[in-house]
Amino acid sequence: MTAVQSETPRAEADSGYNFAYLDEQTKRMIRRAILKAVAIPGYQVPFASREMPMPYGWGTGGVQVTAAVIGSDDVLKVIDQGSDDTTNAVSIRSFFVRTTGVETTEKTRDATLIQTRHRVPETPLSEDQILVYQVPIPEPLRFLEPRETETRRMHALEDYGLMHVKLYEDIAHHGHIATTYAYPVKVAGRYVMDPSPTPKFDNPKMNHSPALQLFGAGREKRIYAIPPHTEVVSLDFEDHPFEVQQWDNACALCGATDSFLDEVIMDDAGKRMFVCSDSDYCEERRAAGHVGEEGVPL
C-alpha cells in the first residue's frame, strides 16, 4: 500500500511509528466517521475501533479520535478530571509526544487540541480549538433499555420518552434530579446524547460552544460530535428545571466561586478542602493574584 504520510513526525518523535501511531487508512476511516458525526450532531456513528497500546477504559476512543485529527503544528493538552498531571493525562500526553512530537501545553488558551476525560475546561474555548472526549458508554438509553436494536430504533424514531422516565424516577426517589454526571442532553433539537461522564456542571459549556466537540468510545466503537455553535439542551421538567451543582465553598487555593470544585480529604481527622478541579484555571487565577483561604500568593 502506498500510504502517503500526511504529516511528518517532528524530530522529537520516536522513529518507527507512523505519525500519531495509527496508519493513514485507519485515520481516514476515523475521519470519515467524524465527518458523518459532525454532519448529524449527536448521532452515534459506528467506527472500526482499533486495538491501541493501552487497555480499554484508558481513553482508547478519545486517543483514536485525537490521532485522526492531530497535525504536526497542533498544540496538545490532555486532562483527566480537569487536571493535567494525573496518570491518565500524563500517559496519553507522552503517547502523543512519542508518536507525533507535537508541542504540548497545560494552558487551555494555548492548546489547539484538548483531549479530556470527565471535564470541560473552565476557560471558555474558541473557534480554533477541538475538544476530544473519552467516552465509556455512549448510549444514554442503555440503562433503561439494554437492547441495542431497540435503542437504535428509539433514536431513529426520536422516541425519547424513556429519557424523561429516568429523570422522573430521580425526582420521585430523591425529590430532585439526582443525576449529576452523564446528564442527558438533546443536540440540535434532534438526538439525545450522553455527554460522557462529565459533571452536569459542564453541560452549559457545551451549548453553542465555538469549539468543535468530538466524542470517542473505543470499546463501544462509536464516535459522535457537537459541531461549533450547536444548541445543546439539558433535559428537564418545567417544574424541575436543569440546574448545575453549586458549592458553599470557594476554591481554597484560588478563591474561585465559579468553577467545579473537588473535595480533597486532608487527614485522618476528616479535614477537607475544596479546590478547583481544573488545575490550569486554578493556576491562572493564582498567577493573576487571586488567593483562596488556604492558598499562598504566587
Partner 1 sequence: MKTVFSESPLLQAEGIEKRFGRVHACNDVSLDLYPGEVLGIVGESGSGKTTLLNILSGRIEPEAGVVEYAVREGGMRDVHQMGAAERRMLMRTDWAFVHQNPRDGLRMNVSAGGNVGERLMAVGARHYGQIRDTAVDWLQKVEMEAGRIDDLPRTFSGGMQQRLQIARNLVTRPRLAFMDEPTGGLDVSVQARLLDLLRGLVGDLGLAAIVVTHDLAVARHLSHRLAVMRRGEVVETGLTDQVLDDPQHPYTQLLVSSILKA
| Binder among 3, 39, 48, 165 for partner 1 (CB under 8 A) | 165
Catalytic residues: 42, 251, 254, 276, 282
**Does residue 142 touch partner 1 according to CB under 8 A?**
no
| Binder among 238, 248, 267, 268 for partner 1 (CB under 8 A) | 238
> What minimum distance in Å lies between the beta carbon of 242 and partner 1?
12
| Binder among 58, 133, 160, 281 for partner 1 (CB under 8 A) | 160
**Does residue 153 touch partner 1 according to CB under 8 A?**
yes
**Does residue 98 touch partner 1 according to CB under 8 A?**
no
Beta strands in 175-250 (DSSP E): 185-187, 191-193, 212-217, 222-226, 232-234
How far is it, in rounded angstroms, from Cα 266 to Cα 263? 9
For partner 1, the closer of residues 1 and 157 by Cβ is 157
H helices present in the chain, as ranges: 24-39, 60-69, 87-100, 148-156, 161-174, 203-206, 279-287
CA distance readout (Å), 221 to 45, 51, 62, 77, 79: 8, 11, 11, 24, 22
> What minimum distance in Å lies between the beta carbon of 235 and partner 1?
9
**Does residue 31 touch partner 1 according to CB under 8 A?**
no
Q: Please tell me whether residue 116 adopts helix, strand or coil conformation.
A: strand
**Does residue 164 touch partner 1 according to CB under 8 A?**
yes
Q: Which three cell numbers stand for residue 123?
A: 476557560
Binding site for partner 1 (CB under 8 A): 144, 153, 156-162, 164-165, 168-169, 171-173, 236-240
